[in-house]
Structure 1
Amino acid sequence: MKSDSQLQHDVLEELKWDPSVDHTDIGVSVVDGVVALNGYAKSYAEKIAAERAAKRVAGVKAIAEELKIRYPSDAKNADHEIARRILDIFSYNVLIPEENIQVKVEKGWVTLTGDVEWNYQSAEAAKAAGKVSGVLGLTNSIAIRNKADISDVRKRIEDAFKRQAGLDAASVTIAASGNKVTLGGKVKAWHERKLAEQAAWGAPGVTQVEDHIVIS
């Protein structure tokens, strides 16, 4: 007697073998010899053909056929298709380290996990995934690999100020806790404050910046 896992394998192979069935969008699950077909068929004829193919497999006790018909012209918004499009977009975006990010889609809701070195990489991945048609919502659970380094943040702010004559980086105070950076002190103009904040965001490990810099 075949196990459920063996039956599942055999049904999938039968669907692949049948030329009248496109198995790409058809899922198969088996419980106690009962086979459930779910996913999409491109026509009613293909739907019937898939059911017949499953019935041909030895050991199948019953069929629970839950296939939906989706014509080629219909929008392709199945979860696995959304996930595939997101991964394709990631592969073409040089700002996203695709090898470090995992994508899960459930009923149109996207969850991103994994870890990256920079906050902008996490933000870029979420932005790209959110633009894919069919996405109903997104949870960005990508972790930032490193903790914020005060000395690195300080250097980036100093370098940014040095590029613009007359700005004094020493007037900016910096505190870090985990991935959070808090800026304080006084500067002469609004653009100096924004420059310090942007430099802090550019440091690896930073996921949150609180700007308490005062314009004097």
Structure 2
Amino acid sequence: MKTDSQLQRDVLDELAWEPSVDHAEIGVAVTDGVVTLSGIVQSYTEKVAAEKATRRVKGVKAIAEELTVRYDFQSKTADSEIAQRVSAVMSWDPLVPDDRIDVTVEKGVVKLTGEVDWNYQKQRAFKAASKISGVTGIANLVRIEQSVDTGDIKRRIEDAFKRQAHLESSKVNVVADGHKIRLGGRVNSWHERGIAERAAWSAPGVNHVEDNIIVG
């Protein structure tokens, strides 16, 4: 098992390796396998990339993300302009039902509300907002509304697990409670855990995934 100092070095190396992250102003602290990221990034997209890079490192149990987005290189974008740009990007994506999603912005923080049928629609709306300069945070409050059969949704998720080449499906268990899914078990890496969670979110009607899978 890695020590906290070894894990800290590995995370720093992974951040330096990731081309979309300027690691110079990112601090990394580790306590009992929990990584805290702090410092300054230049965009919300970079903030997300830093978190993803950290999750790739073997031995990371959890992440406390305290990064601040600061646009030193440009003047502050007006909230109304950010809202218009987010709405425009969503309208260009045929997979986003933009007529069912409302966008409001306050001090650079985008709030998305409304109802969609699938989680991928909610996530694509989030990606659209994260691309816009001036965004300092995103509250994705879009709800997923679709009637579901608990037994059917559990079976679909378990079948999806079995199709994944890099996931030992027998080590992950699924409990379905209406629109809510609880995942449990133990896997070898964050990558496997991510595969399981994405598969669960891909099922129709799922609006909440409680991921209790242990890594290690």
TM-score (norm 1): 0.50
Q: Which has the higher contact order (CA 8 A, sep 6+)?
A: 2
Name which one, 1 or 2, has greater alpha-carbon Rg. Answer: 1
What TM-score do the two structures reach when normalised by structure 2? 0.50
